[in-house]
Structure 1
């Protein structure tokens, strides 16, 4: 399984893939995120800023599944290219519409029997299973804590890829308000 975008969702997808026995290739452009991926059990890491992710994944034998959590159409195309026969491209990230469409090559899609799947949310059962895995200590959420009054700066950091994974806001510990 190749996971493109090792951030807030990608670091969790990596762990879920490991739990079900997958061999995981983590792809990102940030060394810090790839280091985190290695710590979380990625079998291989690819820095797409310094090497061609398609060639790197093909050199490993290709991928059965590619999950794209990044938000750049080119990344979706890079994730599609090294899929094996019968592979699945799971599209999760949502690029701005101004970024343009993802190009899907028809011949490889048909001849290799590739499935392209959109996924925006899981079921309640999926969520219950995720919470159970975390309660059992099988997953780890990588997060940094910020003060609630810093929400705008935090959003800016997320939009400009300056966070490693999740941001958690701490609420003020002040007592109840006087009304």
Structure 2
């Protein structure tokens, strides 16, 4: 017997570009007979909150978000309906699954075939080009929802679906080997604190860069080998070189949403080092010395979220207890205040929102 699906729900809606969030208690729920083949309906138990959601709400990226918009893209819940005429569905009603930034892709183009589903020209993006997880029920796609490992807490899994997958993939492609040094600007933030842990799983030595006593404590507890407070250190580049035998780090994974972190990385990377560009500042440009980029044989790689396999791997590592998300549990109705905290930079770790019962 299929679960009963209500006609309305609670949802956090951005009615127009840059407008304030509205909590609507009579937002419509898509019914089973309205689902297209390949679509499924998920009853969410929780959702993470990401800086990307804030960018979508503010509409301050070069790419425009849809409006009206239900944001969010780190949801965990149960499949309660699947569209008619859906063939070979990898999930069934009752399965617990996660929803990611990449909601859907064609799976047939060159990008998809090469494992870059996130770069598919037909990609649908949760909480950006299609409505996302800041609601009790969300339409998703059977081929792109991710099964949550049995026994893994839903609240803990939520942020792994974006923040975890994103940094996991970046570290995976950072051209490093065990024992190498990796620098993590923004290490105390939502992505950064997970990056510390995935880097340690990969056997890397971690230099955490951020500011404040709370973030220092968090980073060191999570396994960072060295800490640099960017507000207290006079010369970050020289400090990093001093910590790495004067040679510089092997890689830098920049999750900070400012251009300064990218420019400095070229200066403190050693010869053959790799800059992994992950943060997505809305208007900033990547400025770097072309001469020293070439002279030092520096690689600059953009790493944009992850594919389906990356998500499975990142979740498996976290489900084994090797990576833990530091999160604060709040309520969907608190979303506006959460955004205020993110804007001021006072959020350490991640925020997860419970859905109304």
Query: How high is the TM-score relative to the length of structure 1?
Result: 0.92
CA contact (8 A) 1:4 1:79 kept: no
Which of 287, 292, 296 in structure 2 is aligned with 1:108?
292
Question: Matched residues in 1 for 2:298 and 2:317: separation?
Answer: 30
Give 1:58's aligned residue: 241
Question: Matched residues in 1 for 2:343 and 2:279: separation?
Answer: 13
CA contact (8 A) 1:15 1:40 kept: yes
Question: Matched residues in 2 for 1:167 and 1:79: separation?
Answer: 28
Which of 121, 128, 148 in structure 1 is aligned with 2:305?
121
After superposition, what is the alpha-carbon deviation per residue over 1:103-132, rounded to whole angstroms, capped at 9, x for unaligned?
110111001100011112112111111110
Question: Matched residues in 1 for 2:214 and 2:324: separation?
Answer: 17
Give 2:190's aligned residue: 8
Higher fraction of helix: 1
CA contact (8 A) 2:262 2:288 kept: no
Give yes or no for the alignment of 1:85 onto 2:271: yes
Give yes or no for the alignment of 1:25 onto 2:207: yes
After superposition, what is the alpha-carbon deviation per residue over 1:5-45, rounded to whole angstroms, capped at 9, x for unaligned?
12111111111110111000000123311211100000001
Question: Matched residues in 1 for 2:213 and 2:229: separation?
Answer: 7
CA contact (8 A) 2:250 2:272 kept: yes
Q: CA deviation at 1:82?
A: 0.5
Which of 225, 230, 240 in structure 2 is aligned with 1:48?
230
After superposition, what is the alpha-carbon deviation per residue over 1:127-158, rounded to whole angstroms, capped at 9, x for unaligned?
11111011111111000111111101101211
After superposition, what is the alpha-carbon deviation per residue over 1:74-103, rounded to whole angstroms, capped at 9, x for unaligned?
121122211000000011111231xx4231
SS in 2 for 1:137: coil
List structure 1 segments (4+ residues) > 4 angstroms apart after TM superposition.
Answer: none
Q: CA deviation at 1:160?
A: 1.7
- Residue ranges of structure 2 left out of the alignment (5+ in a row): 1-181
SS in 2 for 1:79: helix
Q: What is the aligned residue count?
A: 171
Give yes or no for the alignment of 1:169 onto 2:353: yes
- Residue ranges of structure 1 left out of the alignment (5+ in a row): 174-179
Supply the RMSD in Å over aligned alpha carbons.
Answer: 1.1
**Residue pairs, 1:135-150, within 5 angstroms:** 135-150=319-334
- Look at both structures and tell me which one has the larger radius of gyration over its CA atoms: 2
Higher fraction of strand: 2
